[in-house]
């Protein structure tokens, strides 16, 4: 019998939260937790986490390709140049989440991201500074342990730092979700096949 929180899908044990939607399962198996440090991916995830506020992540996943088209692949310099006309275009795009505050946030965050890239060399060099020490992490990532991890000391510090630099929609819970997704932490449950793969990737990953 699988441990609590683990389910069997196509012969692989995986975390329960992906459910049985093929898109969500693929995201869990192939993306979530795998370490990334490229600027466009990190920036995209911050933006999409902001758009998710009040919604499910599956809703965002289903619209992700539309978001990528609307935000020009989340190229930081391109989004930073968006203007009033760009905002009106995005508000008229029914394929994305048409929320003026979140749209303006993404544009403003692009400008802050460009500044940060100039300061640190890359967004990855900044975000990976907040990787927690292994000793601070749960010894075993059980269902119960994961349920207590909606935020962390590191995500609170990251959120505070970003807000001080002018970023918006970057609260500590949002930033912890970002850390989970980008592999800054590995929050797959013990026994999850994808989690084992993530652990191997993290062990070989060269921190920026």
The active-site residue out of 17, 31, 57, 131 is 57
The per-residue pLDDT for range 196-207, each reduced to its tens digit, is 999 999 999 999
Residue 36 belongs to some domain of the structure: yes
% of the chain at pLDDT higher than 70: 100
Domain of 188, in residue numbers? 6-204
Residue 35 belongs to some domain of the structure: yes
The per-residue pLDDT for range 134-156, each reduced to its tens digit, is 999 999 999 999 999 999 999 99
Across the range 104-130, mean pLDDT stands at 97
Residue 106 belongs to some domain of the structure: yes
Residue 1 belongs to some domain of the structure: no
Residue 17 belongs to some domain of the structure: yes
The per-residue pLDDT for range 74-89, each reduced to its tens digit, is 999 999 999 999 999 9
The closest of 38, 207, 49 to 128, measured between CA atoms, is 207
What's this model's pTM, rounded to 2 decimal places?
Answer: 0.95
* Contact present, 158 and 127 (Cβ < 8 Å): yes
pLDDT for the residue numbered 104: 98
The answer on pLDDT for 46 being more than 80 is yes
Concerning whether 49 is annotated as a catalytic residue, the answer is yes
Looking at the 3D structure of the chain, how many domains does it have? 1
The active-site residue out of 49, 128, 130, 154 is 49
Mean per-residue pLDDT over the chain, rounded: 97
pLDDT for the residue numbered 2: 76
CATH, residue 192: 1.10.340.30
The answer on pLDDT for 1 being more than 70 is no
């Amino acid at each position: 019998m699988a441990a609590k929180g683990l389910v069997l899908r196509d012969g692989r044990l995986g975390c329960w939260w992906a459910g049985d939607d093929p898109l969500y399962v693929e995201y869990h198996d192939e993306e979530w937790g795998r370490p990334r440090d490229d600027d466009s991916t990190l920036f995209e995830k911050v933006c999409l986490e902001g758009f998710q506020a009040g919604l499910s992540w599956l809703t965002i996943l289903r619209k992700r390709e539309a978001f990528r088209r609307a935000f020009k692949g989340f190229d930081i310099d391109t989004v930073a140049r968006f203007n009033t006309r760009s905002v009106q275009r995005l508000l008229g795009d029914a394929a994305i989440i048409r929320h003026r505050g979140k749209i303006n946030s993404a544009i403003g965050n692009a400008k802050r991201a460009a500044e940060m890239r100039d300061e640190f060399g890359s967004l990855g060099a900044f975000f990976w500074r907040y990787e927690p020490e292994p000793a601070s992490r749960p010894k075993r990532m059980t269902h119960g342990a994961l349920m207590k991890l909606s935020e962390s000391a590191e995500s609170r510090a990251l959120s505070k730092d970003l807000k001080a630099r002018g970023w918006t929609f970057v609260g500590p819970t949002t930033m912890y979700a970002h850390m989970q997704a980008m592999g800054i932490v590995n929050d797959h449950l013990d026994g999850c096949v994808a989690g084992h793969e993530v652990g191997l990737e993290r062990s070989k990953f060269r921190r920026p």
